[in-house]
Amino acid sequence: MADTESLENLCHDEQLLVSRSVADLQREFHGTFDDETIEHVVVDSFQRLAARARATTFLAVLSERFARERLTALAHVDGAEPGRPGVLFLCVHNAGRSQMAAGWLRTLAGDRVAVYTGGSEPSSALNPIAIEAMAEVDIDITDEFPKPWTDEVVRAVDVVITMGCGDACPYIPGKRYVDWDLDDPEGQSLDVVRRVRDAIRTEVEGLMAELGVSQRG
């Protein structure tokens, strides 16, 4: 990674926000990655989210979660994690369709599938209508947040599901890509988003069957 992705290149206030996450993840991933790699991933994750954040209240917490997800994916790529199917859901804003799909897959499959999401142009917040539609089926996605796709996550998964990001979606030769033709919930009514939600469930159930993953009891 570039030299700009280190703590010393952040301003003082940003260093205060990020330094604890760096230390925590260095302890968590000790023996898997060196301290410099972990620092670079945390700082890069912080910078990517900060570029689109409306407020910094939860930025440190979210960037630590984002960095942990990336490090876990990188460990999987490097063979340090036990194998299980991995799925990445990609849409433009990572605020509606991809988050709804992830909510369905996590609910139906549990921890038998590693689930990731990303966007080509991430929004600053989740679509509130998507949140409401998912809550109607008892799936809470309020803890999620829009984030960009990253190379290590794309490389870690078995299937990349694209939903409307077109040529902006990352392409890695040999990786399996599947495009789901679904309406974008942005600016739509609750009734329309409900139909999108239900269509996504059908697609997710079909994906699980292809992966040989049964629904959890």
Whose tokens are 């979660």? That residue is 65
Catalytically annotated residue among 113, 169, 193, 200: 169
Q: Which of 28, 108, 35 is nearest to 64 (CA)?
A: 28
Catalytically annotated residue among 91, 95, 131, 196: 91
Q: Is 165 a catalytic residue?
A: yes
Catalytically annotated residue among 42, 102, 165, 208: 165
Q: Is 11 a catalytic residue?
A: no
Three-state SS across the chain? CCCCCCHHHCCHHHHHHHHHHHHHHHHHCECCECHHHHHHHHHHHHHHHHCCCCCCCCHHHHHHHHHHHHHHHHHHHCCCCCCCCEEEEEECCCCCHHHHHHHHHHHHHHHHCEEEEEECCCCCCCCHHHHHHHHCCCCCCCCCCCCECCHHHHHHCCEEEEECCHHHCCCCCCCEEEECCCCCCCCCCHHHHHHHHHHHHHHHHHHHHHHCCCCCC
In this structure, are residues 190 and 132 in contact, taking their beta carbons and an 8 Å threshold?
A: yes
Q: Which residues are catalytic?
A: 91, 165, 169
